[in-house]
């Protein structure tokens, strides 16, 4: 790979207050702990700490240069002085976007952004150099830094865009200036800040505000807000709207799928072409993500058949549905780790996967759920509303924590009840001691509910990885 940024290019993009000592940079970061040799370190002011306090450390660790807005003591190395480091990061991101010859896709939606983005990275990387946002780098810092990391030789660039509050998507979409924008779905996530689902739909549709000429909008054809989103996309000048889903009207359509606990066999019709493929991640929601990804692949002018074949290698990542077989007593337990995220759309999706996962001899289906956060006034109703999906999952013992899960607890039958605790730390021991060989245990909750503590307790109580 060639140099990501030369000092001349950085100087042209950032207009620093003084001339910059020559350097060549291979990366861009704002996290001093993650600084690699040759990175440009941006000293950003965070909520709790100011990056200027870490500049000296970053340079010692090998940063090629640090972008700062004031003097820093003890810093030995190249400093690039600018009036506003956050604005400078956005400027470098824009420069990265502007020089790129890549076909660019942006991904937003209430759930499934990272899953769809990572699936696209995986299938496109097999065809040409591809760059994608890391993790969920989807906010006012994550988007520009991802753009600033776009290598000049990338042929495809995939960027996740997220929001918690109104008005956040449009400026990010304008930075990304995508050729193809996909909205995975519109569901009541973060509804506490957004007021209504319609408001969420209107906000997501701002993805199309910043798209390039002749852009393609990829939309969930089955979602109740499809029409509203399509109207927005047209208004913002999309040249083509592509639907994905089960609907007969979808251009990227699921004809059938055989769901298994290790993945699915899918038959899809993508723009009239019948494609059969194996998908390596389990769950109906993943089948939807996969046709969304194939619709994006087509809109990026990449090879759809080759991409579909590569979907066999997709695996759900830790905290997002990754499955682990753990040794336990004389047998094994299977852990479905969804501890990273939860909302009223993704919990039922996970429960459907649990329902199809067969316990081994002598085992049961167990479930540990923590609160779904940011649901506003309707939070208790959303939690109580999970009762039917919980019953259909076949879970026979249910462990809950968090204040809102009390509402679900009230809806459980005495036979279903394991225990309800105030938080995940006090629940972890109950779950670990309830386990027995053969069990399948699913763990899910919003990140803030810290259900990883429960996952860690399960792993600690086991005899380690058993392999599949
Ligand atoms: N299309 C989907 N429908 C429902 N649930 C999904 C879908 N895709 C993924 N999920 C589940 O939702 C959870 C979050 O997935 P993912 O990380 O892809 O979402 P995200 O939109 O990137 O979330 P975040 O807002 O935290 O960045 C995971 O547990 C995943 O299994
Ligand atoms: Mg994400």
CATH number, position 455: 3.90.190.20
Pocket test for ligand 1, best of 185, 289, 341 (most atoms within 8 A of CB): 341
Distance CA 421, CA 397 (A): 14
* Domain residue limits at 58: 5-83
Q: How confident is the model at residue 156 (pLDDT cuts 50, 70, 90)?
A: very high
Tokens of 44: 């950003």
Enumerate residues with CB within 5 Å of ligand 2 (an ion).
113-114, 136
Q: What mean pLDDT do residues 93-99 have?
A: 98
Question: Mean pLDDT throughout 76-98?
Answer: 96
Q: How far is the CA of 319 from the centre of ligand 2 (A)?
A: 11
Q: Chain-centre distance of CA 308, in angstroms?
A: 20
Q: Which range among 186-190, 208-212, 218-222, 446-450 shows the weakest confidence by mean pLDDT?
A: 186-190
Q: Tell which of 313, 346, 373 closes a domain.
A: 313
Which residue of 111, 337, 342 sits with most ligand 1 atoms within 8 Å of its CB, as the best mutation to test the pocket? 111
Q: Are residues 362 and 238 located together in one domain of the fold? A: no
Q: How far, in Å, from the CA of 319 to the mean position of ligand 1?
A: 10
Mean pLDDT of 235-247: 96
pLDDT of residue 32: 85
Do residues 351 and 429 both lie within one domain? yes
* Whether the predicted model's global pTM rises above the 0.85 cut: yes
The CA 64 to ligand 1 mean position distance, Å, reads 36
Beta bridge partners of 253: 245, 269
Q: Classify residue 167: in a domain, yes or no.
A: yes
Mean per-residue pLDDT, 135-162: 97
For residues 273 and 416, membership in a common domain is answered with no
- The verdict on 109 and 65 lying in the same domain is no
Say whether both 345 and 247 belong to one domain. no
- Are residues 328 and 302 both part of a single domain? no
What is the residue-averaged pLDDT of the chain?
95
What's the gap in Å between 97 CA and the centre of ligand 1? 26
pLDDT of residue 100: 98
Whether residue 115 has its Cβ less than 6 Å from ligand 1: yes
What's the average model confidence in pLDDT over 103-126? Answer: 96
Closest protein CA for atom 3 of ligand 1:
285
Which pair of tokens denotes residue 105? 């896709």
CA angle 435, 431, 375 (to 5 degrees): 135
Ligand number nearest CA of 245 is 1
Domain boundary among 313, 338, 372: 313
pLDDT on residue 260: 87
**Domain for residue 466, yes or no?**
no
Residue 378 lies in a domain: yes
Pairing of strands 252-260, 103-108: unpaired
Claim to verify: residue 183 and residue 303 sit in the same structural domain: yes
pLDDT number for residue 1: 64
Ligand 1 atom 11 nearest Cα:
346
Ligand 2 centroid – CA 141 distance (Å): 14
Cα first-last separation, the chain: 36
Q: Would you say 164 and 374 are in contact if contact means Cβ atoms under 8 Å apart?
A: yes
Q: What is the pLDDT of residue 452?
A: 97
**Does residue 159 lie in a domain region?**
yes
Q: Nearest Cα to 174, choosing from 159, 189, 184?
A: 159
- Mean pLDDT of the 269-285 span: 96
The pLDDT score that the predictor gives to residue 74 is: 86
pLDDT of residue 468: 55
Q: Is the minimum distance from the CB of 372 to ligand 1 under 6 angstroms?
A: no
Q: pLDDT higher for 16 or 458? A: 458
Number of the ligand 1 atom closest to the C-alpha atom of 189 = 25
- Output the CA 396–ligand 1 centroid distance in Å: 25
How far is 244 from 185, CA to CA, in rounded Å?
Answer: 10
Q: How far is CA 429 from the centre of its chain?
A: 29
Q: Is 290 in the pocket of ligand 1 (CB under 6 A)?
A: no
- Domain assignment of residue 91, yes or no: no
Please report the sign of the dihedral spanned by the C-alpha atoms of residue 46, residue 48, residue 50, residue 51: negative
Measured CA to CA, the distance from residue 220 to residue 119 in angstroms comes to 17
For tokens 């249910």, name the residue: 398
- Verify whether ligand 1 is closer than 6 Å to residue 349 (CB atom): yes
Cα-to-centroid distance, 115 and ligand 1 (Å): 6
Among 68-77, 125-134, 264-273, 441-450, which is the least confidently predicted range? 68-77
End-of-domain residue from the set 283, 313, 343: 313
Indicate which CATH number applies to the domain containing 150. Answer: 3.40.1190.10
Whether the per-residue pLDDT at 265 is higher than 80: the answer is yes
One domain for residues 234 and 347? no
Return the pLDDT at 313. Answer: 95
Answer yes or no: is 467 within a domain: no
Q: Do 78 and 183 fall within a single domain? A: no
Give the pLDDT of residue 131: 98
What strands, in cross-sheet order, belong to the sheet with 79-81?
Answer: 27-29, 39-42, 65-68, 79-81
Mutation to probe ligand 1, out of 112, 295, 354, 443 (largest number of atoms < 8 A from CB):
112
Question: What is the structure's pLDDT at 113?
Answer: 96
- What percent of the chain is helix, strand and coil (3-state, nearest 5)? 35, 25, 40
Q: 377 Cβ partners below 8 Å, 6+ apart?
A: 192
Do 262 and 197 reside in the same domain of the chain?
yes
Asked if the structure places residue 440 within a domain, the reply is: yes
Q: Is there a domain that residue 348 lies in?
A: yes
CATH number at residue 9: 3.40.1390.10
Give the total number of structural domains in the chain: 3
Mean pLDDT of 366-393: 96
Tell me: do 201 and 331 sit in the same domain.
no
Which pLDDT does position 351 carry in this prediction?
Answer: 96
pLDDT at 322: 87
* Pairwise CA distance, residues 406 & 388, whole Å: 16
Based on the fold, state whether residues 106 and 203 are members of the same structural domain.
yes
- Least confident among 91-100, 130-139, 204-213, 218-227: 204-213
Q: 186 C-alpha to center of ligand 2: Å?
A: 14
Degrees (nearest 5) of the Cα angle 19, 22, 28?
A: 100
């Amino acid at each position: 790979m060639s140099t990501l940024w030369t000092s001349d290019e950085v100087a042209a993009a950032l207009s620093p207050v003084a001339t910059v000592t020559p350097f060549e940079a291979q990366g861009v970061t704002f996290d001093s702990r993650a600084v690699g040799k040759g990175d440009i370190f941006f000293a950003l002011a965070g909520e709790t700490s100011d990056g200027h306090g870490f500049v000296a450390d970053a340079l010692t660790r090998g940063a090629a240069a640090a972008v700062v807005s004031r003097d820093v003591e003890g810093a030995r190395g190249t400093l690039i002085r600018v009036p506003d480091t956050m604005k400078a990061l956005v400027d470098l991101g824009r420069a990265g976007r502007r020089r790129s010859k890549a076909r660019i896709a942006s991904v937003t939606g209430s759930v499934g952004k990272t899953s769809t983005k990572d699936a696209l990275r995986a299938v496109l990387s097999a065809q040409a150099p591809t760059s994608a946002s890391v993790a969920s780098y989807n906010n006012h810092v994550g988007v520009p830094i991802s753009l600033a990391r776009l290598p000049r030789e990338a042929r495809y660039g995939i960027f996740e865009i997220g929001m918690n509050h109104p008005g956040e998507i449009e400026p990010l979409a304008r930075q990304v200036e995508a050729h193809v924008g996909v909205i995975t779905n519109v569901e009541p996530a973060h509804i506490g800040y957004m007021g209504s689902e319609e408001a969420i739909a209107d906000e997501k549709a701002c993805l199309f505000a910043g798209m390039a000429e002749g852009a393609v909008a990829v939309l969930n054809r089955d979602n109740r807000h499809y029409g509203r989103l399509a109207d927005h996309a047209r208004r913002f000048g999309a040249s083509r709207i592509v639907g994905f889903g089960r609907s007969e009207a979808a251009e990227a359509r699921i004809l059938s799928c055989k769901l298994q606990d290790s993945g699915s066999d899918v038959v899809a019709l993508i723009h009239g072409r019948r494609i059969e493929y194996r998908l390596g991640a389990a769950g109906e929601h993943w089948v939807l993500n996969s046709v969304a990804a194939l619709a994006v692949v087509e809109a990026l002018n990449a090879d759809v058949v080759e991409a579909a074949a590569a979907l066999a290698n997709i695996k759900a990542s830790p905290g997002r549905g990754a499955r682990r077989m753990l040794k336990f007593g004389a047998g094994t337990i299977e852990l479905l780790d969804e501890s990273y995220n939860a909302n009223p759309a993704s919990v039922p999706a996970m429960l459907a996967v649990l329902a199809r996962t067969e316990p081994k001899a002598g085992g049961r289906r167990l479930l540990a759920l923590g609160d779904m956060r940011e649901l506003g006034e309707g939070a208790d109703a959303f939690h109580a509303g999970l009762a039917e999906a919980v019953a259909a999952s076949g879970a026979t013992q249910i462990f809950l924590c968090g204040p809102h899960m009390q509402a679900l607890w009230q809806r459980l039958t005495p036979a279903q009840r394991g225990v309800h605790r105030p938080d995940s730390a006090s629940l972890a021991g109950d779950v670990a001691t309830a386990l027995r060989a053969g069990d399948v245990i699913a763990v899910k909750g919003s990140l803030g509910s810290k259900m990883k503590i429960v996952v860690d307790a399960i792993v600690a109580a086991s005899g380690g990885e058993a392999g599949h």
